[in-house]
Amino acid sequence: MKLYVVRHGQSEDNIARRHSGWADCSLTEQGRADAERAGTVLRGIAFDKVFSSDTKRAKQTCAIALPEMQDAVEYTPLIRETNVGTLTGLEVAECQRRWGEEYDSRRKARNFCPYGGENLAMHMERVREFLTMTESGGWDTVAVFSHGGSIHCMLDIVMGAVQNKADYPCENGSVSVFEYADGVWSLAEWGRME
């Protein structure tokens, strides 16, 4: 099985450098262009199944990239972005002013529990549940529309250890490919943009 995993296009919160988490926000004009570019990468691939995060920005990306598949999309909260709790809607710069190094340290560790959100282990458990579900689906080719944090969780699970995000940039509208064969996941391609 091949999983073609798309990060949603640029959102309004991406531009404002705000924590989106599980909140809904729309794509920007650039975000719609990102989605169209992802659709070009996916063009000609016959998908057996399409999954999307149930957030607005992922749904919009999916609708633009694969308009012909919209009747078959399954929306799931399992591949939402990290839940950032009470930080939702706050600008990163504001959080840094309010909480300083403590906030920076928690953000780097992907630990939003102190703010009522998730930590990395909780987020990875959701994503692991999603991957396990796809393993038993009987599909050959699957499209997935998700978020940078969830895609990095997929990478961490597949690689067997937490990877340095700087080594694996996950741009808006990028397409990464994971393969599952003989009970083993592998990374086939990372962050394709065209």
Give the catalytic positions in this structure. Answer: 8, 81
Q: Where are the beta strands (DSSP E) in the chain?
A: 2-7, 49-53, 73-76, 141-146, 175-181, 184-192
Which positions ≥6 away from 123 have C-beta within 8 Å?
82, 83, 110, 149, 150, 153
Count, in order, helices (H) and strands (E) of the chain. 6, 6
143 phi and psi angles, rounded to 5 deg: -100, 140
